Amino acid sequence: MGIGDPRDGDNLPATVPQPVLPDILHAEAGRAADYARASRSAATRRAYASDWKIFTGWCEARGLESLPATPPAVATFLASEADTGTKANTIGRRLAAIGYHHRQAGFDPPQEQPGSGVIREVLAGIRSSMGTRKTRKKPADADALRDMLQTIKGDDLRALRDRAMLAIGMAAALRRSELVALDVSDVELPPEGLRLLIGRSKTDQAGEGTVIAIPEGRRIRPKALLLEWMASAGHKEGPLFRRLTRAGELTSDPMSDRAVARLVQRCAADAGLDPSEFAGHSLRSGFLTEAARQGASIFKMRDVSRHKSVQVLSDYVRDAELFRDHAGERFL
């Protein structure tokens, strides 16, 4: 070989950087999977994980393949769930979870495969037989929330945080995932009350964000309670509602959405209410229930709740007006 011949290893640099494509692709695929998971809320992913575990356990007990699963196997699973008393809405979520995990693994969901008509027929039969009415938790309306706030005694960090969280959750009609996702920078303090930027929500998966207003208030006083918490916590950035240690020390971590539900149930119990009838969603439904009761229009309610459809809101209004100007009031 002559001088400079590319086959002459002595003329090559000591190290020749080469792209490691498998590693690059693996990293990119991992990021793609992360984004795919981000398309569902943390609560939805937890529910799907539980549903998937139930389905795979059912398949394993019967010697069936769970991934990929066949439409007849999934239809039989759904029927089995109905026979054990699982609610129709939960069964529908189980099916969604099965489809989600198939997509994550690169398979066509059973409900989109040839022969999937059997799944639709079984699901329609279940809904027809069992109904799809949801069991609503009780709303933390103005009276209930006042009683719950009064159970939180003291002025330590935990008490200040918990009072502010309940007040803001109800006053802004927030889902518990939205409540724990609030950042200090999402809060503005105009003279009239508060402005909150809701960066991402169930109905805003693109993260465009929405600003909602909270009045100063005379009864619940959400602004005053929030300012008391922020002044004592002293945090200028990061998560608004933070996890505390067992000793009551502030951490940099946000609270979990499950902690919100536990707080609502604990305060409900301390107020003499049945804690099993309340949940994190009671704060959101409490605002809508009280707003409808006080005569707020559906459109003003939607300014705060951000519902895409007015159907849910009209149900709140109808419930509040069931006995108002009743058609039989003058003769019954």
Catalytic residues: 175, 202, 281, 284, 307, 316
CA distance 115 to 118: 7
Q: Are 203 and 312 in contact (CB under 8 A)?
A: no
- Name 183's bridge partners: 239
Burial class (CB in 10 A: 0-12, 13-18, 19+), 18: exposed
Residues in the chain: 332
CA distance 180 to 238: 11
Residue with tokens 């209004």: 317
Burial class (CB in 10 A: 0-12, 13-18, 19+), 169: buried
Phi-psi region of 279 (alpha: psi -120 to 50; beta: other; left: phi over 0): beta
Q: How far is CA 194 from CA 25, 177, 203, 209, 226, in A?
A: 46, 19, 22, 16, 10
DSSP state for residue 183 in the 8-state scheme: B
Element counts in the chain: helices (H) and strands (E): 13, 5
Smallest CA-to-CA distance from 165 within 237, 217, 242 is with 242
